Homo-oligomer: A and B are copies of this chain.
Amino acid sequence: MQTIRQLSAKIVEHKLFQPTIIILILINAVIVGMESYRGLYENYGNWFIRIDTIILTIFTIEIIIKLLASRPMRLFFKDGWNVFDFFIVASSFIFMGSPFVTVLRILRVIRVFRTISVIPSLRKMVNALILTLPSLGTIMILLGVMFYVFSVVGTFLFRDVAPEYFGTLQHTMLTLFQIITLESWASNIMRPVMAELWWSWIYFVAFVLAGTFVVLNLFVGVIVNNFEKIEKMENEDEEPEDLQEEVHMLRKEIKELKDLIKNR
């Protein structure tokens, strides 16, 4: 058992291990892209399936080796990206032979996301992006409350006038999401509703103003976040506290000096 673990660790750390996986992911990406062309799929469908089976096998072996290589096996699942890899490969087995070809295909496409889990710089960046999300928590809740209140009000007010946009709560929510992206909010949504209820502009203008203001502050939050991170890194280099302490010490020593001279 010990030897298997050591062997696995050696394989994982081999300098060709990661590039091989990256190349396989790229081949997988190309295959799945080619499959999306009907003509190619009809003629070479069998080849695609064969190559896919080979890739899936190698990916399975890869994960087993990685699992074996991590000292306490639980450690493997502590990294979110390993869990991500594990589920992507595992799900391919679960849906194997199922009649839902589309599900299987989408799973194969999602494997391309493994580029992120395999290339360290991408992994780092995505981790950083995800880490900014919790700091935006409060403003997200605020946006959520705003969305919910405007959705319920919008449904009550406009469900009879524009059922395709405000028919049910979920329709209204989608419509509000569209409005917050400012896409056709006036020409397609507000103006037809206004033709029936002239005062409806208050609702739309209020939502656009409040929504863009909150979203703007969400964006500002992301920007400020980034700057704070950078400044923190810079401040660690500068160590201004040391300077202050050093000047403080200086003063103490001069006092001692003075006492020394006086008391002689």
The residue in A110, A142, A246 that gathers the most chain B C-beta atoms within 10 A of its C-beta is A142
Contact between chains at A205 and B177 (CB < 8 Å):
yes
Stretch at the interface among A31-39, A52-60, A62-70, A71-79: A31-39
Indicate whether A149 sits within 8 Å of B110 (C-beta atoms), given known contacts A183-B183, A261-B261: yes
Separation of A229 and B262 alpha carbons in the complex (Å): 49
Separation of A175 and B250 alpha carbons in the complex (Å): 67
Indicate whether A178 sits within 8 Å of B183 (C-beta atoms), given known contacts A126-B142, A238-B240: no
Residues of B within 8 A of A257 (CB): 254, 257-258, 261
Stretch at the interface among A11-19, A42-50, A90-98, A101-109: A101-109
Residues of B within 8 A of A255 (CB): 253
**Could you tell me the dominant secondary structure of chain A's interface residues?**
helix
Who on chain B is nearest to A169 by CB?
A: B36
Contact between chains at B125 and A138 (CB < 8 Å):
yes
In the complex this chain forms, how many copies of it are found?
4
Contact between chains at B36 and A155 (CB < 8 Å):
yes
Fill in one digit per residue for A162-178: 1 if any B CB lies within 8 Å of its CB, else 0: 00000011000010011
Pairs A–B under 8 Å by Cβ, sample size 21: A32-B152, A33-B152, A109-B156, A112-B148, A119-B141, A121-B138, A122-B141, A178-B186, A178-B187, A181-B182, A182-B183, A184-B187, A224-B226, A228-B230, A243-B247, A247-B247, A247-B250, A249-B251, A253-B254, A257-B258, A258-B260
Report which A residues bind B (CB closer than 8 A). Answer: 29, 32-33, 36-37, 102, 105-106, 109-110, 112-113, 115-116, 119, 121-122, 125-126, 129, 138-139, 141-142, 145, 148-149, 151-153, 155-157, 159, 168-169, 174, 177-178, 181-188, 201, 205, 208, 212-214, 216-217, 219-220, 222-224, 226-228, 230, 238-240, 242-244, 246-251, 253-258, 260-262, 264
